[in-house]
A and B are shown apart, each in its own frame.
Chain A
Amino acid sequence: MNDTLTDNTMLEVRDIKRDYELPGSLFKPKKIIHAVKGVSFKLERGKTLAIVGESGCGKSTLARMLTFIDEPTSGDLLIDGQKVDTRPGHLTQEMRQKVQIVFQNPYGSLNPRQKIGDVLGEPLAINTSMPAGERRDRATEMLKKVGLGPEHYNRYPHMFSGGQRQRIAIARALMMNPKLLVLDEPVSALDLSVQAQVLNLLADLQDEFGLTYVFISHDLSVVRYIADEVMVMYFGEAVEYGTRDEVFSDPKHEYTRTLFAATPRADIESIRARIAKKKAATAA
């Protein structure tokens, strides 16, 4: 990353760490688990950083720290050039509004007893003194932006499909005009055709609102499609960090190479090669 571009930096993370403490008992000493062991990166405005890694490597913990759900054990978090005081109770409302998250599971992230209109209007109702009519207009407008219609305003979440729900979750995240959107595996619970729709929607919204994305995923084909920069995490450490082309064409770390090798390939060449290999194995 170029240091001269600092005023264009949306998000900077310096040596962030998160430890979980397992309480000990009479016979078991206290145990500390290092979920994230000192990760640093910078992200420019309007760009997308993809964080890749296997389950349990700390990518979701990192996402929770970026969105202030969890407090980092140590390290600094700079958003829009300002250092964020992440201690509970010290977070300013303005800072909270700059970062929003879209969760992995669209079936758990919407309140089943809340109408879609209220889901979208809630952030406005809490943070602003906007009258109900205006909130309604804003929510309807946002529904249209994510590809739904005003007729969905009064419906409940159980009346929507997974893809539609994820659109609603994205709309909710955008209601307060955030600058940074953390997407925690936003498409992994959806089927392939819907995945493509949601990814295209995300790309459109990024252009329209000038959003910066931190995109967490374990699906390399999705990452290749959406990311500008890629960070590979392995056991709480960032083992590889660079632009998409750098990482995909010339993986430096052993784990990254293993990860790329594990991607299923469906092109004709590789299928032929695989069949030939299988035949050779049975013949021998």
Chain B
Amino acid sequence: MADAIIDKASSGTQEPVSSSAMRRQMLKEFWFYFSENRGAVIGLFVFLLLVLVAVFAPLIAPHSPFEQYRDAVLVPPIWTEDGRAGYLLGTDPVGRDILSRLIYGAQYSLFIGVFVTTLSLTGGILVGLIAGYYRGWIDTVIMRLMDIILAFPSLLLALVLVAILGPSLTNGMIAIALTLQPHFVRLTRAAVMAEKTRDYVTAARLAGAGPLRLMFRTILPNCTAPLIVQATLSFSNAILDAAALGFLGMGAQPPAPEWGTMLAEAREFILRAWWVVTFPGLAILITVLAINLMGDGLRDALDPKLKRS
């Protein structure tokens, strides 16, 4: 990889290298490091599959997620003795098709992941940049506040917040975003503090760059690698926490086909009908695992310490 770059550089054509060619080159390099990690590639494909399923849910799902088939209550999966054609993964206690509900549930999970991650990422970056750039008492106040948030078990804090705001999916997501934010603040602050002492920041300041430009244009782009990794990991954390909130009845409210809520609704049938809890549980497990594997691969590909520069 490195040799290829040098070759390109020394061939010395008189034309400036175009930006798109440069971007392609960087993307190729990224993929080279990412594909070294097989688990990460598998995770990426599972995740892409999940995105496709969520986007095309109305086309894929065999039934409506809310339609209750009164003649087909608690039908086991199709491959068991009592399975019935048309209900691939069986039905739940009120006769809704589990597969369809799982497919629509993917929409919820991905939306929760995206929303929570964006919220906590932007908030965390802003607060962390300010803390790391200005230091002093601002830094102390912010970091002690984050320490307080971190001292609570995240689910408990989310529960308290939902109890105050009222149980709904939106409030649950806001609560989860708040509990995940300190991780971003700490990461950003640490990265900013390390980058701030480098000569190129001083050089930009000498060129006349103001604090805003220094923070967002000079320092922030050099802190993205750990943030991207943390973002993927908190994406899966958000899904997991939202499912837990749903299970406790504080997140998405029935009849929404959210995976955690589905688990909660099926709680009393765990012993009689194994499929009503197994499949939502598996869906959560596979999604979270795939995203975590992907995050590992991203870390390998983006961590400058592992890169031969």
Contacts and interface: CB of A to CB of B under 8 A. Distances in A.
B12 A149 contact: yes
Contact of A155 (B17, B203, B207): B17
Interface string B225-261: 0000000000000000000000000000000000000
Nearest to A160: B9
A112 interface: yes
B199 A103 contact: yes
Interface string A90-111: 0001001100110101001111
Given A108-B199, A159-B9, A101 B206 contact: yes
A111 B213 contact: no
B136 interface: no
Interface of A is mostly: loop
Contacts of B213: 126
Interface string B175-209: 00000000000000000000000111011111111
B304 to A, nearest CB: 8
Contacts of A127: 207-208
Given A101-B203, A149-B12, A126 B218 contact: no
Nearest to B213: A126
A151 B17 contact: yes
A159 B207 contact: no
A126 B209 contact: yes
Contact of A151 (B5, B6, B13): B13
A44 B14 CA distance: 40
Contacts of B16: 117, 150-154
A53 B176 CA distance: 57
B204 A151 contact: no
B15 A151 contact: yes
Contacts of A152: 16
Interface residues of A, number: 37
A111 B222 contact: yes
Interface residues of B, number: 28
A108 B9 contact: no
Interface string A160-182: 10000000010010001000000
A108 B222 CA distance: 12
A30 interface: no
A71 interface: no
Contact of A123 (B13, B14, B208, B222): B208
A88 to B, nearest CB: 11
Given A67-B206, A122-B204, A159-B5, A150 B14 contact: yes
A123 B213 CA distance: 12
B19 interface: yes
B271 interface: no
Give the residue among B15, B19, B204, B222 with the most A Cβ atoms within 10 A. Answer: B204
A132 B200 CA distance: 22
Contacts of B153: none
B17 A154 contact: yes
Contacts of A172: 203, 207
Given A150-B16, A151-B14, A154-B19, A111 B207 contact: no
30 contacts: A68-B206, A69-B205, A101-B203, A103-B202, A103-B203, A108-B199, A109-B200, A111-B200, A112-B200, A123-B208, A126-B207, A126-B209, A127-B207, A127-B208, A149-B12, A150-B14, A150-B15, A151-B12, A151-B14, A151-B16, A153-B17, A154-B17, A154-B18, A154-B19, A154-B22, A155-B22, A156-B22, A158-B309, A159-B6, A172-B203
The 6 A-B residue pairs whose C-beta atoms are closest, nearest first, are A109-B199, A123-B207, A113-B221, A111-B200, A153-B16, A103-B199
Interface of A: 67-69, 93, 96-97, 100-101, 103, 105, 108-115, 117, 122-123, 126-127, 149-156, 158-160, 169, 172, 176
Interface of B: 5-6, 9, 12-19, 22, 198-200, 202-209, 213, 218, 221-222, 309
Given A150-B14, A159-B9, 15 more contacts: A69-B206, A97-B208, A100-B206, A101-B206, A103-B199, A103-B202, A103-B203, A122-B207, A126-B207, A151-B12, A151-B13, A151-B14, A151-B15, A154-B19, A159-B6
